Amino acid sequence: VIQIAVAGLASAAISSLAYRVRSLTTSGAFAAFVVGTVMFGVGGLSAAAVLLTFFITGSLLSRLGAERKRNLADWGKQGARDARQVLANGGVATVCIALHSVAGTTLFGAFCGALAAATADTWATEIGTLSSRARSILTWRPVTRGESGGISLLGTSAQIAGAAVIAAVSVGVHLAPFWPVLAGGVVGGFFDSILGATAQALRWCPQCNRRCETNPHTACGSQTMMLRGLRWIDNDAVNFLATLCGATIAVLALSCRH
């Protein structure tokens, strides 16, 4: 009970701080409070260290090169995170940590793998969008900076580095070994890009004559038309599936070791 109370207080403090520096919206801060309380409360300081590494590096990197990232609004990847975005990135990890007492410590690996995938994708997006040479992961054609499914040397390097940092922290706090977590993060990150180039809704704004991923278009408020993908698969859905992939790969890699 004391651990849950401490977890709740710490999560409330961090969520409200993130709200004040505009990393989270009101709904995002509430979701982060719930996610944080479950993770700290059930997983203790070890789980908190992994979660905070994801959260703090992501918040700091989003401030990098703000000028060059202005067009990211077209792709719904700019500004404070709302509840949907928080759950898309942290939902799978929260369920993994909550179930570990019934399903065993393999789920600690799944927890780390899910957060490694979320971190890999965040680092790839926040650093990769500073590069102007993004190409489609499927067709290798040049794509607009920030467009889902686009990869670049800079972004892919950041993706691997982000997964490696989470893997290193996971080892440091004795939650999971390095390689399975790294594999979960890197594969989850690539899965994110592949879904972004295929299933994710790509839209067209007739007013601005350009592609985007939001409806209505964030820039002008006009209704946008579907160009590719599935209507209901947006960036949040893709992030959720990528973290699920990261958790699965980490569990598979862990079971191969035994």
Q: Under the rule (CB under 5 A), what is the footprint of Zn ion?
A: 205, 207-208, 217, 219-220, 222
CB of 226 to Zn ion, least distance (A): 15
CB of 216 to Zn ion, least distance (A): 8
On whether the CB atoms of residues 190 and 148 are closer than 8 A, the answer is no
**Residue 77 or 217 with smaller CB distance to Zn ion:** 217
> Which amino acid does the sequence have at 145?
R
Nearest to 177 by CA among 105, 120, 245: 105
CB of 147 to Zn ion, least distance (A): 15
CB of 25 to Zn ion, least distance (A): 22
CB of 213 to Zn ion, least distance (A): 12
CA–CA distance, 97 with 68 (Å, rounded to integer)? 37
Parallel, antiparallel, or unpaired: how do β-strands 225-228 and 210-212 relate?
unpaired
**Residue 26 or 223 with smaller CB distance to Zn ion:** 223
**Residue 78 or 222 with smaller CB distance to Zn ion:** 222
Which strands, in side-by-side order, build the sheet including 202-205? 210-212, 202-205, 225-228
**Residue 54 or 75 with smaller CB distance to Zn ion:** 75
**Residue 211 or 228 with smaller CB distance to Zn ion:** 211
